[in-house]
Amino acid sequence: MRSSVQIKLSKGALCFVALLTGSLGCLGQSTPVTPDNPGSAEIANASQYQIGPGDVLDIRVYNRPLLSRESVRVDENGTIRLPLINEVRAACLTEGELADSITTSYREYLKHPHVEVFIKDYQSKPVVVVGAVREPGRFQMQRRVHLVEIISLAGGLTEQAAGRIQVTHALDQGMCSARDAGEQVEWYEMKELLASHSNRKAIVPVRPGDTINLLEADKIYVIGNVVNPVAIPLKEEVTISQAVAMAGGTLPASNLDSVRITRQSAAGPRGEIIVNLKAVSQKKAEDIRLQGNDIVEVQTSTGKRIMQGLLNSIVPTATRLPLRIIP
């Protein structure tokens, strides 16, 4: 029993590391899924593309050329129009599922109809992946893609990733959801997606038009008279002495008696805390636990404040992101 638990935990840890490096080998496929390698036949059969608004289809009815149609575009409501049966729902179905649906409708008029559906042009909305991934971008799907897979295709997680994922569904793609149509945002935790031994929890399908945002962890900023002013992702508890150490330590002529912590809020600074770092190192003062957006500033012994500028990270707009095809 003990060995089986150890294997499960180590596998989860390896999966998390794999996502950091952009690999999908932890998902249980016999072959990793990459842009050049869609994966094993089993995964491919279970991952057929769902038709979406804007896609262009060819509909072939065997021995019925007058009923066959080429270049049929799925409208914004997710439907297409065909002879005799008029409107047919196409969105959220695979080629095979739509062919079966059309076949069933034509049985009222034809004896043993045989229908084939082919996606001629993939024009449904691309999926946008932003946030704490190495290669943010837009992805035009040509098959069904899973949430963990598309994160890997975006380069995997960065070191700043908090592990929380926000998936926002496009309003016109709510038609594919079995949930309340008013619910357009879903949240996932990366650790939970990778924790299941059977990996079934990792199979979360992505819909055309989704925006996937991997949230960054809150940051602590260490500035002033330190070796390397730095922004530190707050993914675990960090104290002021640890933060200063992570900035490379202090430079000569630093005023360790009055290290300043500026506490931030959405409305602006909400207060300052002065810490005697010498007393902290001597266990005579509390090593204060830092909070998200805290700014730790080390001044010089002359009282001069050295405000090292912090660059704001710029998140590119979705329209400027590169567009890649997922075959």
Note down pLDDT in tens along the chain; length 327 residues: 433 333 333 444 445 555 555 554 444 433 333 333 333 333 333 347 888 889 999 999 999 999 999 999 999 889 999 999 989 999 989 899 999 999 999 999 999 999 999 999 888 889 999 999 999 999 988 888 889 999 999 999 988 888 889 999 876 555 676 554 445 888 998 888 877 545 555 578 888 889 999 998 888 899 999 999 998 888 888 999 999 999 999 999 899 999 999 887 655 556 889 999 999 999 999 999 998 888 999 998 775 555 544 334 333 455 566 777 776
CATH fold of 2-48+125-216: Outer membrane lipoprotein wza fold like (3.10.560)
Question: Does domain 219-298 correspond to CATH entry 3.10.560.10?
Answer: yes
Superfamily of 56-121 according to CATH:
wza like domain (3.30.1950.10)
Query: For residue 221, what are the β-bridge partners?
Result: 231, 295
Contact between 114 and 130 under an 8 Å Cβ cutoff? The reply is: no
pLDDT at res. 243:
93
Domains 2-48+125-216 and 219-298 share a fold: yes
| H-run or E-run covering 150 | helix 147-153
Closest by Cα among 2, 260, 208 to 93: 208
Q: Annotate 51-66 with DSSP letters as a single string.
A: P-TT-EEEEEETT-TT
Question: In the chain, what are the domain boundaries?
Answer: 2-48+125-216, 56-121, 219-298
b/e map 197-223, b = 16+ CB within 10 Å: eebeebbeebbbbbbbbbebbbbbbbb
Angstrom distance (rounded) from CA 143 to CA 209: 14
pLDDT at res. 208:
83
| H-run or E-run covering 100 | helix 95-106
Question: Quick one: 139 exposed, middle or buried, by C-beta within 10 A (0-12, 13-18, 19+)?
Answer: buried
pLDDT at res. 191:
83
pLDDT at res. 46:
36
Structure tokens at 220: 């602590």
